């Protein structure tokens, strides 16, 4: 017979701290252009991106990261 014992630990509200959590999403798309060299190709796509020719959206999603750091007392007020 298998007996399981669960211990319930209630958190003390006084021990809670504030955190700042940074969410970083990575969007990625590959486009093909005709150019004389790599530098020109990158510049063409960079210009196109700045001109809003390439709008990355949810279909270009590849990764997400979460990073929590303790909030300072002043920032948490």
pLDDT at 13: 64
**Tens of pLDDT, residues 15-65:** 899 999 999 999 999 999 999 999 999 999 999 999 999 999 999 999 999
Q: Is residue 60 domain-resident?
A: yes
Nearest to 24, CA basis, from 68, 65, 67: 65
Q: Is residue 75 domain-resident?
A: no
Domains held by the chain: number: 1
CA dist., res. 13 & res. 18, Å (int): 12
Please say whether the beta carbons of 66 and 26 come within 8 A: no
pLDDT interval class at 76 (50, 70, 90): very low
Please say whether the beta carbons of 42 and 12 come within 8 A: no
Residue 44: which domain range? 16-70
pLDDT at 4: 54
Q: Is residue 76 domain-resident?
A: no
Model confidence, pTM? 0.66
CA dist., res. 68 & res. 18, Å (int): 10
């Amino acid at each position: 017979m298998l007996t399981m014992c669960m211990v319930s630990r209630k958190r003390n509200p006084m021990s809670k701290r504030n955190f700042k959590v940074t969410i970083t999403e990575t969007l990625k798309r590959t486009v093909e252009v005709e150019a004389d060299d790599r530098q020109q190709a990158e510049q063409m796509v960079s210009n196109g991106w700045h001109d809003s020719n390439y709008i990355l959206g949810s279909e270009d999603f590849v990764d997400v990261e979460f990073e929590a750091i303790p909030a300072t007392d002043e920032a948490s007020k």
